[in-house]
Structure 1
Amino acid sequence: MFASHALTWEVTASRGFETAWTERADSVLRARGRAVRTVPEPYWVSYELETAEDFVTRRLRVTVETGAGTRVLDLRHDGHGRWTADGEPLPDVDGALDCDLGLCPLTNTMPVLRHGLHREPGDREFLMAWVSVPDLAVRPSRQTYTHLRSGHVRFSSGDFRSDLEFDDEGYVVDYPQLATRLTAR
């Protein structure tokens, strides 16, 4: 049985807001979200996320609307480490298990849940299929998640580092420099 939640964040990094409606059962997550952002230009983002077992991304479909028009990305993982964007192979992100939608606190959930890093000691490095917004380019991103204490995980990628707060269910509550949740689960 799926547990449903509506989560809303103020996304300070883009001077906007995001709401995600999530459904979770065992080790599977489904979500749909919408965001309005004003930096670097006004734009809307809509997305649908599906994971397979162990919170491994199966599909991320993203639509971005700007004053110049609409862009759509259909990012898929085949379950064997290979990715496609709109049907075209993405060899640079082969081996990644997770997507990471830029400026979206929800997509930090999958690796944290898979390894229980919000609850238990550990330090994990991941290759992510990182999706920048609003252009929807997909790039490889090396990211490290380190358990600090219950509910607190350090995120680092390159020179960037931030100590994130998660609730008991593995959803971001506070992501300094990026977003703060406005709603309870």
Structure 2
Amino acid sequence: MCAITWEVFASRGFETAWPELGEAVLRARGRAVGTDPEPYWVTYELDTADRFVTRRLRVTVESADGSRTLDLLHDGGGAWTANGAPLPDLDGALDCDLGLCPLTNTMPVLRHGLHREPGEREFLMAWVSVPDLAVRPSRQTYTHLRPGHVRFSSGDFTSELEFDEEGFVVDYPQLATRLTGR
């Protein structure tokens, strides 16, 4: 198992993930520290099912306000729950997107090979904001620009992400850049 570490500009912090890629599945655990908007620690575990579809994201945040935990589950048929409560606004979403976490951009890119071949895909994501762990629907578009480069857009935000051959983020301008790994 390898580790990937990013400097996360958006939170004025760092993240390290320990991903394991299998045949169309991704499992990872990670830890992050941020100081913006407040000092906090994040610990997460991510499990995907076939074709990199999110199965579960467990996240814990520790801050001056105490500890918060989120257990986000996808039933494989398009329905989501957060700590057991249904999230009907996310029906049909396949992926989670943990805020300020470059790792979670990997699943949709790998599923459609967008870091290697032409294409554009729009996704509904289960977006988890950090550090409050609120879950909201997020429409996101990924567009292949050239090998290893994908444009990400959501609302008014657009950025050109750089991916390595395995599909992990190397550089995400305005968010994070990789320091070590793979």
Query: Does TM, scored on the shorter chain, surpass 0.5?
Result: yes
**1:42-95 residue CA offsets vs partner (Å, 9 max, x unmatched):** 000000000000000000000000011000000000000000000110001110
Asked whether 1:123 is paired with 2:120, we answer yes
Gap runs ≥5 in structure 1:
none
Q: For 2:2, what is the secondary structure of its paired residue?
A: strand
Paired-residue identity, %: 82
Please list every run of 5 or more consecutive structure 2 residues that lacks an aligned counterpart in the other structure.
none
C-alpha distance in 1 between matches for 2:156 and 2:2 = 33
Normalised to the residue count of structure 2, the TM-score between the two structures is 0.99
Alignment RMSD? 0.4
Of residues 86, 89, 105 in structure 1, which corresponds to 2:86? Answer: 89
- Residue 19 (structure 1) aligned to one of 16, 21, 25: 16
Q: Which residue, out of 32, 36, 39, partners 1:35?
A: 32
Determine helix, strand or coil for the equivalent of 1:13: helix
Q: Runs in 1 of length 4+ with deviation above 6 angstroms?
A: none
Q: How does 1:38-57 map to 2 (within 5 A)?
A: 38-57=35-54
Indicate the SS of the match to 2:76. coil
Q: CA deviation at 1:115?
A: 0.1
* 1:102-160 residue CA offsets vs partner (Å, 9 max, x unmatched): 00000000000000000000000000000001110000000000000000000000000
Amino acid of the structure 1 residue aligned with 2:140: Q
The alignment partner of 1:92 has SS state of: helix
CA displacement at 1:5 relative to structure 2: 2.1
Structure 2 equivalent of residue 72 of structure 1 = 69
